Amino acid sequence: MDWTRRSGVLAHPTMLPGRLGAGDLGPAAHAFVAQLAGAGQAVWQVLPLGPPDGIGSPYAAASAFAGDALLVSPEALVEDGLLARADLAAAPSFPEGVVSREAGEVRLALLERARAAFEADAGPAERAAFEAFRTEHADWLPDHALFQALRRAHGAPFWERWPAGLRRHLPGDVARARRELRAEVEAEELRQWLFRRQWEALRAAAHARGVAVFGDVPIFVARDSADVWAHPELFWLDAAGEPTVVAGVPPDVFSEDGQHWGNPLFDWGVHARTGYAWWIERVRRTLELVDLVRIDHFRGFAGYWEIPAGAATAREGRWVPGPGPDLFAALEAALGPLPVVAEDLGVITPDVTALLERTGFPGMKILQFAFDGDPGNPFLPENMSPRCVAYPGTHDNQTTAGWLATAPAEQRARLAARVGRDDDLVWGMAEVCLGSPAFLAVLPLQDVLELDDRARTNVPGTCEGNWRWRLRPGELDPARLARLRALTAATGRLRA
């Protein structure tokens, strides 16, 4: 772990500008990296990079290993000769400032044109690179690609509704489907290669400017995923492939019924008997893409909330012990020291604290939780260890402007007293964050722009209106970047 004092900005690629309904890995992302570097930032934090679910959540990806093919930049495909400029010019435009999910079909159509061009015109070096990628990723790519081809062939229903042989992943049925859907399978494999190639180019550009990439791994996987379909033995499922228990969190001050996430739960006994092989490959593949990784819902490795599959709410759940330090010992034995940040928020019990101390991973501190008047509040800067990552709020919290508009007056007053003024408090919160002892301080992009909750990324426990905000062209202007750089320098975090 690099404990150098530094700072960064949280913004998923889909949040960046772009004509085709969402940000991607193309020119706007490269420009954003340049803006971060110019503002003295050393870290770009992103959300999980896998293919999101139908409502856009990257925390319910269709694969724990694949990339989101809709992040592939059509502009970069033009530069590579896989699309004509006319193809891009003919594509419809979509509104700026919002992620338009209906643009996905337009992007897929362009990717199909790129596939046809690759098949017709790719040279020996490109074909060899693609084949090398397929060989290197043979542990997950064939199942993922077939899973995506089957979803399209069956109109994208859950795999539980497929014919019995495919539903149960029987070798003969899988082999037959692979033959029948060969073209669709290879098309998805090519999309994954294009994603990997563009992401590696973007990450290399970030590194060239001194910016590290901070990624994210959800603890659980989606029920409708290639992982659960291809490896049912790793999860608590019945003979029909239905989950017997699912994930969530218990009732708390934010939700009187708790949260019923519905993800299948890992059968940790099976994982232990395999030496945690699936997890080792998952983390290995993630660290091929990023320099530092946040593990979401870290407390679930100490103990997790198990809900009966038929329960209406999370109230009916119970705490069950997780794998504890054995998992992380196996990961370190296979991969070496882990550049991991633990998302240690929520109900933190002594077993979670003990696991965090044993692994040595830094945790997270959220300043929106700090100003309740308790001098012992662990989110106050004076109570922070340097071995943590500080945020005003994360993608799951209000923006700071939204928090200021709704927080109790006494909490706003405490923040104002701390920064010595009662206005400009969005930047006041940024001052507290970057001035904290945390080795890494991260500001959500919306806070740099001083946006209210209309720009909020996600409201946990809800399905509507999330994962939609994105940056408008020119919105991240030189004055804001200069102010961010000045604050970064004043708090001793300026990238060398």
The answer on pLDDT for 462 being more than 90 is: no
| pTM of structure | 0.96
Summarize pLDDT for 176-224 with one digit per residue, the tens: 999 999 999 999 999 999 999 999 999 999 999 999 999 999 999 999 9
485 by Cβ neighbours in 10 Å (0-12 / 13-18 / 19+) ranks as: middle
Closest CA to 59 of 443, 341, 457, 327: 457
Summarize pLDDT for 379-427 with one digit per residue, the tens: 999 999 999 999 999 999 999 999 999 999 999 999 999 999 999 999 9
Residue 201 lies in a domain: no
DSSP 382: G
Q: Whole-angstrom Cα distance, residue 190 to residue 186? A: 6
Q: What is the mean pLDDT of residues 100-112?
A: 95
What CATH number is attached to the domain comprising 228? 3.20.20.80
For residue 219, what are its two tokens?
Answer: 């603890």
> How many domains would you assign to the chain?
1
The answer on pLDDT for 463 being more than 90 is: no
The answer on pLDDT for 253 being more than 80 is: no
C-alpha dihedral, 200 to 204 to 210 to 214, nearest 10°? 0
Q: How far is C-alpha 73 from the chain's CA centre? A: 19
Question: Which residue has tokens 């991991």?
Answer: 340
Asked if residues 431 and 491 have their Cβ atoms less than 8 Å apart, the reply is yes
Summarize pLDDT for 475-494 with one digit per residue, the tens: 999 999 999 999 999 999 99
Strands 388-391 and 440-444 come out as parallel
496 pLDDT tier (thresholds 50, 70, 90): low
Domain that holds residue 358: 6-68+209-490
Per the annotation, the verdict on 344 as an active-site residue is no
Residue 90 lies in a domain: no
Closest CA to 244 of 223, 226, 224: 223
Q: Whole-angstrom Cα distance, residue 150 to residue 156? A: 8
Question: Which residue has tokens 């690759």?
Answer: 118
What is the percent of the chain with per-residue pLDDT over 70, rounded to a whole number?
Answer: 99
Residue 430 lies in a domain: yes
Summarize pLDDT for 414-442 with one digit per residue, the tens: 999 999 999 999 999 999 999 999 999 99
Residue type, 111: L
Torsion sign (Cα): 328, 56, 241, 167: negative
Asked if residues 21 and 106 have their Cβ atoms less than 8 Å apart, the reply is yes
Count of other CB atoms within 10 angstroms of residue 474:
9
Residue 404 lies in a domain: yes
Distances (CA, A) of 269 to 45, 277, 299, 335: 33, 12, 18, 21
The answer on pLDDT for 460 being more than 90 is: no
Asked if residues 221 and 227 have their Cβ atoms less than 8 Å apart, the reply is yes
Q: What share of the chain is helix, strand, coil (3-state, %, to 5)?
A: 45, 15, 40
Residue 107 lies in a domain: no
Q: What is the mean pLDDT of residues 289-317?
A: 95
Per the annotation, the verdict on 396 as an active-site residue is yes
Residue 195 lies in a domain: no
Residue 118 lies in a domain: no
Question: Which residue has tokens 């089957």?
Answer: 150
Catalytic residue chosen out of the listed positions 53, 143, 296, 344: 296
Q: Whole-angstrom Cα distance, residue 347 to residue 1? A: 26
Q: What is the mean pLDDT of residues 256-270?
A: 93
The answer on pLDDT for 157 being more than 80 is: no
Catalytic residue chosen out of the listed positions 188, 189, 343, 447: 343
Catalytic residue chosen out of the listed positions 281, 396, 453, 475: 396
Residue 157 lies in a domain: no
Q: What is the mean pLDDT of residues 118-138?
A: 96
Q: Whole-angstrom Cα distance, residue 176 to residue 172? A: 6
Q: Whole-angstrom Cα distance, residue 360 to residue 20? A: 42
What is the percent of the chain with per-residue pLDDT over 90, rounded to a whole number?
Answer: 90
pLDDT for 287: 97
Mean pLDDT in the chain? 95
Summarize pLDDT for 223-237 with one digit per residue, the tens: 999 999 999 999 999
Asked if residues 396 and 460 have their Cβ atoms less than 8 Å apart, the reply is yes
Q: Whole-angstrom Cα distance, residue 111 to residue 105? A: 10
pLDDT for 348: 84
DSSP 233: G
The answer on pLDDT for 254 being more than 80 is: no
Q: Which segments within 77-198 are labelled E, that is strand?
A: none
